[in-house]
Amino acid sequence: MLIVLPVKAETVTMPIQCGSSQEVLEIVKQKYQEELLFLSEGIAAGNKSPLYNSLWVNYETKTWSFIVINKKDQTACLFASGKVFQFFEPGESI
């Protein structure tokens, strides 16, 4: 079954931190000791640049970071981060 919900697009401001890919990934890997868990390809809406969505986690401290990387521009943006992540098995829910 496919459920389609109407979506109203609007512009919002979100606190996003960006920098060179090297600097952003170094902080995630060195300071928080997070490892890459998930990577997917995407495309920037404005200029069609290839983007890479990535989720980084530290299995011991339970911290996580969601980073979007623009390889063409060699930039990365930290969209969200947090702590106390939890894994779910397929079909499992909260």
Rg (CA), the chain: 15
Q: Are 33 and 58 in contact (CB under 8 A)?
A: yes
Q: Which helix (H) or strand (E) holds 63?
A: strand 63-70
Q: Domain range for residue 54? A: 21-83
Tokens 């109407």: give the residue: 6
The residue that leads in pLDDT, 48 or 89, is: 89
For 33-76, write each residue's pLDDT tens digit.
999 999 999 877 776 778 999 999 999 999 999 999 998 889 99
Is 37 within a domain?
Answer: yes
Contact 34, 63 (CB under 8 A): yes
Number of domains in the chain: 1
User: Domain for residue 52, yes or no?
Assistant: yes
Cβ atoms within 10 Å, residue 55: 16
Tens digit of each residue's pLDDT (9 = 90 or more) over 66-84: 999 998 889 999 999 999 9
Residue 31 within any structural domain of the chain: yes
